[in-house]
Amino acid sequence: MIVLLLGAPGAGKGTQADLIKKKYGFKHISTGDLLRAEVAAGTELGKRADAIMKSGALVPDEMVLELLQNALKNSGKGAILDGYPRTAAQTEMLKNLISATGEKISAVINIKLSEKEIVDRIVMRRQCKKCGNIFNLRFIKNFDGKCPKCGGADVYQRPDDNETAAKKRLEVYHAQTAPVVEAFKNEPFYKEVDGNRPVEKVFEDICKFIER
């Protein structure tokens, strides 16, 4: 079973993918996380991707495809694709890849959110290096620099989570990712979910659709 999570930067894809993974045991494949791991490891691919990601632009399709192909191996019960596909070409690449393995896309969930809320969420997002928890400073009173979930002290902000890069990412999303939505929006397995609600409410809708 393959579930695609679409949505603008900051829409809540990573947050929801983590919950889906815990509930259904699917593998969470975030191309953004895979690219950030390459950057952290200092690989050739990571070195090429680093500046592109910091600017808010998209990394070339072929570079991401290689990472995706490896990640899709051994997906077991299923996979949640978070942040892929992001261009018309990636949509075709994914369809070819999936038809070759006999898998199928069971759900395409598009999390919708207003632009103002998107930028606010992005600039206030933090993540814990120890447990991976994604959280938002807007919801934490007297933040002490520690992860609210595990207490880990290594909390970081992504280098592309500033206002300039966030606005660029939004522009890129509208220009390059709109055709992805077009490709799926008339399919019976496509669903739009209002992301401007508490995490649990958004998750409830997503679960209903996955289990339909």
User: Out of 20, 26, 50, 83, which residue is the one contacting ligand AP5 (CB under 6 A)?
Assistant: 83
CB 111 within 8 A of CB 202: yes
14 makes contact with Mg ion (CB under 5 A): yes
Active site residue 158: yes
Number of residues that bind ligand AP5 (CB under 6 A): 35
User: In angstroms, what is the minimal distance from the CB of 154 to Mg ion?
Assistant: 18
72 makes contact with ligand AP5 (CB under 6 A): no
User: In angstroms, what is the minimal distance from the CB of 111 to ligand AP5?
Assistant: 7
Residue from 61, 149, 19, 77 nearest 69 by CA: 61
* Residue 203 three-state SS: helix
136 makes contact with ligand AP5 (CB under 6 A): yes
56 makes contact with Mg ion (CB under 5 A): no
- Helix, strand, coil shares of the chain, percent, nearest 5, are 50, 15, 35
Active site residue 126: no
Residue 87 vs 210, nearer CB to ligand AP5 = 87
Q: Which two tokens stand for residue 140?
A: 């934490």
CB 177 within 8 A of CB 86: yes
CB 129 within 8 A of CB 37: no
Cis previous bond, 85, omega within 30: yes
Partners of 28 in the beta sheet? 80
Gyration radius of the chain's alpha carbons: 17
Question: Following CA atoms 51, 118, 90, 178 in sequence, which dihedral angle do they give, to the nearest 10 degrees?
Answer: -130
Q: By CB under 5 A, which span of 6-14, 64-72, 99-107, 114-122 interacts with Mg ion?
A: 6-14
User: In angstroms, what is the minimal distance from the CB of 195 to ligand AP5?
Assistant: 6
Residue 34 vs 188, nearer CB to ligand AP5 = 34
Using CB under 6 A, list all residues that contact ligand AP5.
Answer: 7, 9-15, 30-32, 35, 52-53, 56-59, 64, 83-84, 86, 90, 121-122, 125, 134-136, 160, 169, 195, 198-199, 202
Using CB under 5 A, list all residues that contact Mg ion.
Answer: 14
